């Protein structure tokens, strides 16, 4: 469901805004946390006079520290009747602090019509005033996201309007636009991820991709089953064989003028992962409508590239299939032909993601001449065990590409941690009857995330490549901060920041170095 909250930059001051909730930032640092009482154009003394006590006294009373997202609330009459005043911790005013603060404010403001806050004031504190506005908007909108198919909405409604007081400069407006673009791309992906698999089959997802492409000015191409057969996508077909809802492959092209580089993004699009004949226990299976998170992330990213003014040509590939359990399903022991001509012995049908990814990567290498490949997949439970739900696993043989992605993750609050592609583990994927096996024979306790990465690497043709395993951070178990329970679309903002970075040195242009 699209984010219901609207953000509007307005001139004036916090005092004269027409909001029923007014947030005053509290900054950490210095001798004591300070309420940035002034609001553009308001003297601290004037605001102090309207609060129940001077701002500094309230900060002391509530024992506020200025920690990002910290909140104290009380009623006050700022001049036009009683409103709720929120003292909002904004840390040092760094973008990450503001993202957290924006999310906390949006959560505190649920059920309200209009809230006003100010971030323009933080310019003297943070070095990037624009970065502050972008992150504040991003955090507030992400926290307002919700997905519900209930006949009656439970809980307070999202905040309707957030007024950013004093953020009405051209620079602030464009920063606000970037924050909004990042949040709305994420929401688009989250909606796809949260849609139940009864509705979300491969044809449905491909159709949604077509609609998004049309709306965002992208060229789209969809392979149906017949065309997948004709073009030799043997692994996608094999994974989809057990389902009576046949697989698809989607290609989306974003082509700016004079592109700085060409990047291919590949996203795992398993619309439901039962495990296939290597059936999952129910506790693991019940979450597997989210197994197309990689494809949703790539689609969300593609939808926002033009709006963010990315100067990189990007091709998005979504291999989409349902991994079902049936008499026509792929069997353990089957040997299947991949797009690149090699054969794969399938020893576990639950290691299906790497199979569909192999075909898409093979297609990219054979047909697209990219400068770099980046894939996103909810690929292994092992990555989740290793890094938990807060951090994504990053595998890459290319130091510059890995560093650029890690930096974009840091800047986005979507951290990824680089893991080794230990060469010795490659031996485990040796097959006696085919070119390659899809799993090692070590069973539980084997290095599952690295093995999956090494398997994918086989299909990257020696090109600069990075693999993001988001099985851990791809889902959230609670509504907290910028996350809502369910699909998180983790790495959407990371990839968008990477692909729309200003200087080529900081962006993907440096990837092949």
Q: Which of 138, 273, 340, 458 binds Mn ion (CB under 5 A)?
A: 273
Q: Residue 378: which of 450, 475, 457, 446 has the closest Cα? A: 475
Which residue number is nearest to Mn ion in terms of Cβ? 350
268 is annotated as contributing to ligand binding: yes
Q: Which of 28, 146, 311, 384 binds ligand BES (CB under 6 A)?
A: 384
Q: Which of 273, 398, 451, 458 binds Zn ion (CB under 5 A)?
A: 273
Interaction between residue 267 and ligand BES (CB under 6 A): no
Residue 480: CB atoms within 10 A of its CB come to: 12
CA distances from 263 to 22, 72, 255, 365, 466 (A): 44, 46, 11, 11, 11
Q: For ligand BES, which stretch binds (CB under 6 A), given 124-132, 148-156, 255-263, 381-389? A: 381-389
Torsional sign, CA 322, 325, 330, 333: positive
Partner touching 305 among Mn ion, Zn ion, ligand BES, none, CB below 5 to 8 Å by kind: none
Partner touching 380 among ligand BES, Zn ion, Mn ion, none, CB below 5 to 8 Å by kind: ligand BES
CA count, 13 A, side-chain hemisphere, 473:
24
Contacts of 388 (CB under 8 A, 6+ apart): 472
CA distances from 287 to 190, 306, 487 (A): 14, 33, 10
The active-site residue out of 311, 354, 493, 497 is: 354
384 is annotated as contributing to ligand binding: no
Q: Which of 69, 93, 242, 353 binds ligand BES (CB under 6 A)?
A: 353
Q: Interaction with ligand BES in 270-329: which residues (CB under 6 A)?
A: 273, 291
CA distance 175 to 489: 22
- Site residue total, ligand BES (CB under 6 A): 16
Interaction between residue 481 and Zn ion (CB under 5 A): no
Q: What six digits make up the tokens of 218?
A: 């992208």
Interaction between residue 340 and Mn ion (CB under 5 A): no
Q: For ligand BES, which stretch binds (CB under 6 A), given 67-75, 346-354, 403-411, 455-463? A: 346-354
Distance in Å, CB of 241 to ligand BES, minimum: 16
312-331: burial string, b at 16+ Cβ within 10 Å, e else: bbbbbbbbbbbbbbeeebbe
Tell me how far the alpha carbon of residue 15 is from its chain's centroid.
36
Interaction between residue 350 and Mn ion (CB under 5 A): yes
**Of residues 22 and 386, the one with the C-beta less far from ligand BES:** 386
**Angle at the Cα of 254 (from 252 to 255), degrees rounded to 5?**
135
Interaction between residue 353 and Zn ion (CB under 5 A): yes
**Of residues 11 and 333, the one with the C-beta less far from Mn ion:** 333
Q: Interaction with ligand BES in 455-474: which residues (CB under 6 A)?
A: 471
92 is annotated as contributing to ligand binding: no
Q: Which of 5, 100, 195, 380 binds ligand BES (CB under 6 A)?
A: 380
97 — phi, psi (to 5°)?
-65, -45
Distance in Å, CB of 52 to Zn ion, minimum: 55
Interaction between residue 322 and Mn ion (CB under 5 A): no
Which residue number is nearest to ligand BES in terms of Cβ? 381
CA distance 57 to 48: 9
340 is annotated as contributing to ligand binding: no
Q: Residue 182: which of 124, 117, 226, 134 has the closest Cα? A: 134
244 is annotated as contributing to ligand binding: no
Distance in Å, CB of 107 to Mn ion, minimum: 34
485-498: burial string, b at 16+ Cβ within 10 Å, e else: ebbbbbbbbbbbbb
Partner touching 431 among Zn ion, Mn ion, ligand BES, none, CB below 5 to 8 Å by kind: none
Torsional sign, CA 195, 224, 323, 430: negative
Q: For Zn ion, which stretch binds (CB under 5 A), given 22-30, 186-194, 266-274, 463-471? A: 266-274
**Of residues 352 and 398, the one with the C-beta less far from ligand BES:** 352
Q: What six digits make up the tokens of 466?
A: 């990075």
SS3 511: helix
Q: Residue 498: which of 396, 405, 378 has the closest Cα? A: 405
Q: Which of 54, 332, 381, 397 binds ligand BES (CB under 6 A)?
A: 381
Interaction between residue 352 and ligand BES (CB under 6 A): yes
Distance in Å, CB of 43 to Zn ion, minimum: 59
**Of residues 159 and 356, the one with the C-beta less far from Mn ion:** 356
CB 463 within 8 A of CB 447: no
Torsional sign, CA 388, 394, 399, 405: negative
CA distances from 170 to 162, 167, 436, 484 (A): 18, 9, 56, 31
DSSP state of 512: G
Interaction between residue 373 and ligand BES (CB under 6 A): no
Contacts of 89 (CB under 8 A, 6+ apart): 25, 26, 28, 33, 64, 65, 66, 67, 68, 69, 70, 71, 101, 104
Annotation says 280 is catalytic: yes
Binding site for Mn(2+): residue ranges?
Answer: 268, 273, 291, 350, 352
Contact residues toward ligand BES (CB under 6 A) are 273, 291, 348, 350-353, 378-382, 384, 439, 448, 471
Contact residues toward Mn ion (CB under 5 A) are 273, 350, 352
Contact residues toward Zn ion (CB under 5 A) are 270, 273, 291, 353
Which residues are catalytic, by number?
Answer: 280, 354
């Amino acid at each position: 469901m699209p984010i219901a909250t609207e953000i509007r930059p307005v001139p004036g001051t916090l005092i004269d805004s027409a909001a029923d909730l007014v947030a005053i930032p509290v900054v950490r640092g210095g001798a004591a946390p300070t309420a940035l009482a002034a609001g553009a154009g308001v003297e601290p003394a004037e605001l102090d006079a309207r609060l129940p006590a001077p701002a500094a006294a309230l900060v002391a009373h509530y024992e506020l520290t200025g920690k990002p997202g910290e909140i104290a609330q009380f009623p006050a009459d700022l001049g036009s009747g009683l409103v709720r005043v929120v003292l909002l911790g904004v840390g040092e005013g760094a973008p990450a602090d503001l993202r957290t603060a924006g999310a906390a404010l949006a959560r505190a403001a649920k059920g309200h019509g209009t809230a006003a806050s100010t971030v323009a004031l933080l310019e003297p504190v943070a070095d990037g005033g624009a970065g502050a506005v972008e992150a504040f908007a991003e955090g507030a909108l992400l926290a307002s996201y919700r997905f519900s198919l209930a006949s009656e909405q439970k809980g307070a409604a999202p905040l309707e309007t957030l007024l950013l007081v004093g953020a009405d400069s051209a620079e602030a407006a464009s920063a606000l636009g970037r924050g909004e673009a990042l949040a709305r791309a994420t929401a688009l992906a989250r909606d796809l991820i949260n849609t139940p698999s009864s509705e979300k089959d491969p044809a449905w997802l491909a159709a949604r991709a077509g609609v998004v492409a049309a709306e965002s000015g992208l060229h789209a191409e969809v392979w149906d089953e017949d065309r997948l057969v004709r073009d030799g996508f043997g692994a996608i077909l094999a994974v989809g064989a057990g389902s009576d809802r046949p697989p698809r492959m989607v290609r989306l092209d974003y082509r700016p003028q004079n592109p700085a580089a060409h990047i291919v993004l590949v996203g795992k699009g398993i619309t439901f992962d039962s495990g296939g004949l290597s059936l999952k226990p129910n506790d693991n299976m019940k979450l597997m409508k989210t197994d197309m998170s990689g494809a949703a992330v790539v689609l969300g990213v593609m939808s926002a590239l033009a709006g963010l003014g990315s100067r990189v040509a990007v091709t998005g590939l979504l291999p989409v299939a349902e991994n079902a359990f049936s008499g026509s399903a792929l069997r353990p022991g089957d040997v299947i032909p991949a797009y690149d001509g090699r054969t794969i012995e399938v020893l576990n049908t639950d290691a299906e993601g790497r199979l569909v990814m192999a075909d898409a990567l093979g297609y990219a290498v054979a047909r697209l001449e990219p400068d770099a490949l980046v894939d996103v997949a909810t690929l292994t439970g092992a990555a989740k065990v290793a890094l938990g739900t807060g951090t994504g696993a990053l595998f890459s043989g290319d130091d510059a590409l890995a560093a650029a992605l890690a930096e974009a993750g840091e800047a986005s609050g979507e951290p990824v941690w680089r893991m080794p592609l230990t060469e010795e583990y490659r031996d485990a994927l040796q097959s006696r009857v085919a070119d390659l096996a899809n799993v090692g024979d070590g069973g539980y306790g084997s290095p599952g995330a690295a093995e999956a990465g090494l398997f994918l690497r086989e299909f990257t043709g020696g090109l600069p490549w990075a693999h993001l395993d988001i099985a851990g951070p791809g889902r959230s178990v609670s509504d907290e901060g910028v996350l809502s329970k369910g699909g998180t679309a983790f790495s959407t903002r990371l990839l968008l920041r990477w692909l729309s970075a200003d200087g080529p040195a900081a962006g993907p242009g440096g990837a092949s170095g």
